[in-house]
Structure 1
Amino acid sequence: MASARWEDLKTRLTSGLLMAVAGVALIWAGGPWFAALAALVSGLMLWELSRMTNPDARAAAVQLALLGGAAVLLARALPGVYVLPLLVAPALVGVSLLKQNRMIFAAYAVVILLAGYGLSMFRDNYGMVWLIWLVLVVIATDIFGYFAGRMIGGPKFWPAISPKKTWSGTIAGWIAAALVGVAFLQFTNAGLTLPVISAALSLASQMGDIAESAVKRRMGVKDSSALIPGHGGLFDRFDGLLGAALVMLIVSQFVVIPEVRF
């Protein structure tokens, strides 16, 4: 039984490490490189979402993926007044092309494209360090939640939606995210609220994961796709980042994000 509990760990860690290396390299490069990554991931997530909600609409899934990726890139080049309509457009096209679960697709499509565009602009506007902080908060939440949930176990967090998520794993994720915030206090001039904000983003990340689990349960699928060995699809892997990114992007409209000093 113990070996079965950890049987997916090697594959999960290997593919996770490869994704992390590629992601950090493109975050470091910034500019068009990271924008291309954001567009690619957004397009592939739309493809997965289309396939989950409308399994028979394979041609439409490809079209919506291409449209979504192009919208993320084009939105970066347009004045701000055009950004939201452009990012909403693929969702509206999906409503016209797809036959089932249209509102679920439309809602998640808008979230995916807003997050993809927002993350690429966040990198441009605030630099590499704060984007790495955001990603590390999500990664720490996932990894510590994974290990604590399996080692400690205990009561389920929301069994009707996400039967594997436990309170022990959830709280471990908050603590791990707060520690990431503490670490970033050492070389930034952020205020002492950073660990608290980090824990709040950890909760947002977990809510993103739970929301995606609800969609998968409604659609009767285990994974959004099989693109990433040990993780399922990009939607499975980045659902938490969607939640954390949206909350952070909203917060960034109301607070001053400090410069990083080394």
Structure 2
Amino acid sequence: MTPPEPQSTKWDDLTVRLISSAAMVFVGAIGVILGGVWFQMLVVFVTAVMVWELWMMIRPKEPTKGMLLAALVASVMSGQLAEGSFWGMLLFLVVPVIGVTQLKTEAKTFFFFALGIQIAGWGLVHFRIDYGFFWLLWLMSVVIVTDIFGYFAGKAFGGPKFWPRISPKKTWSGTVAGWVGAAIVGFIFMLFTETGLWFMLVSVALSFAGQMGDIAESALKRRMGVKDSSTLIPGHGGLFDRFDALLGASLFLIFVADIVDVPGVVW
């Protein structure tokens, strides 16, 4: 008699996800702590891979063009991060424009996502340079804690879906739990700065921006009919799947830093 196959549970992917997450956190933490060219190289690599994944979701049968675009992204990002010029950011249009010329469908999709990915990467690097390790640690902590609280609350409590047409797995319980986690992070960091309780609200807003980055990538995958951006990371899919929330948070923080006086805490 053939033994029955083991039943899958909603926690089946937890071990793989934790191992992959630990590895990514370790590598990311080293880059963030070292800063400088080390963090820049890490961001350049991740940004280039995400643009490649974006291309492959749209045109999976043309991998060579995707790799060429990724190499061009790495070149442009390296030059721009070294120069640090605002006007040099116009170079970020190079890959989106070239991509548009190669696409008969989803050209606008590639243009805006590729541009957003590069600007978000630029923002992370310059936030580290301009404001120091402390505030980048806050940014990453909010994104990570939002994901952790959201994952466990969504798995444990379930309930109504947050946006079922776009991301059928995300629930309101997980979304709100992410906000709670972000508020806790904001409160902890508030204790070591001269900010007030309003900083908790900024942390929640940053959490929401990260969640919208996640939603945007989910909408893209749904539009392209794919489950993951790639299979590079066991349990997580691709780098785009893992860092979509960080992209959304980075774009939000670029806007906030322009209107709020963010004190530099250099390390």
Structure 1 length-normalised TM: 0.96
Hey, what's the Cα distance between the residues in 2 that align with 1:99 and 1:14?
Answer: 40
Distance 1:101 1:56 in 2: 15
Which residue matches 1:252?
Answer: 257
1:101 equivalent to 2:111? Answer no
Stretches of structure 2 that go unaligned for 5 or more consecutive residues are 1-5
Residue aligned with 2:168, SS: strand
* Alignment-derived partner of residue 122 in structure 2: 117
Per the alignment, residue 75 of structure 1 pairs with 80
**Aligned-partner Cα distance in 1 for 2:7–2:183:** 30
The structural deviation recorded for 1:50 is: 0.3
- Asked whether 1:19 is paired with 2:40, we answer no
Q: 2 CA distance for matches of 1:105 and 1:261? A: 36
Aligned to 2:45: 40
In structure 2, relative to structure 1, the CA distance for the partners of 1:87 and 1:107 (3 Å cut) is same
**2:104 equivalent to 1:127:** no
1 CA distance for matches of 2:84 and 2:31?
A: 25
Whichever residue aligns with residue 148 of structure 2, its letter is: I
Mapped to 2, the partners of 1:94 and 1:247 lie a distance apart of 25
Q: 1:246 to 1:216 in 2, by over 3 A?
A: same
Shift of 1:260: 3.9
Matched, 1:84 2:89: yes
Identity of aligned residues (%): 50
Offset of residue 261 of structure 1: 9.4
Tell me what 1:214 maps to.
Answer: 219
| Partner-residue secondary structure (3-state), 2:259 | coil
CA–CA separation in structure 1 for the residues paired with 2:44 and 2:256: 23
In structure 1, how many angstroms separate the alpha carbons of the residues matched to 2:116 and 2:179? Answer: 23
Contact 2:134–2:266 at 8 Å: present in 1 too? no
Mapped contact 1:91–1:107 kept (Cα < 8 A): yes
Matches of 1:261 and 1:90, distance apart in 2: 33
Q: Distance in 2 between matches of 1:112 and 1:130?
A: 20
> Does residue 195 of the first structure (1) align with residue 212 of the second (2)?
no
Equivalent residue, structure 1, for 2:160: 155
Residue identity in the other structure for 2:114 = A
Which residue number corresponds to residue 181 of structure 1? 186
Indicate the larger mover: 78-87 or 66-75.
78-87
For 1:163-185, what per-residue CA distance to the aligned partner results, in whole angstroms no more than 9, with x for missing partners?
00000000000000010000111
Moved more, 46-55 or 183-192: 183-192
Give ranges in structure 1 of 5+ residues lacking alignment: none
Whose Rg is larger?
2
- Root-mean-square deviation (CA, aligned residues, Å) is 1.6
Aligned residues: 262
Structure 1 distance, partners of 2:240, 2:79, is: 22
Q: 1:9, 1:70 → 2: CA distance?
A: 36
Instruction: For 2:63 and 2:105, locate their aligned partners in 1 and report how far apart those are by CA, in whole Å.
Output: 13
Going from structure 1 to structure 2, the CA distance change for 1:195 and 1:261 (only over 3 Å counts) comes to farther
| Post-superposition offset of 1:55 | 1.1
Whole-angstrom distance in 2 between the partners of 1:18 and 1:233: 14
Deviation string, structure 1 residues 75-113 (Cα, Å, up to 9, x no partner): 123363432211111111111223331110111000000
**TM-score, normalised by the number of residues in structure 2:** 0.94
The answer to whether 1:52 aligns with 2:57 is yes
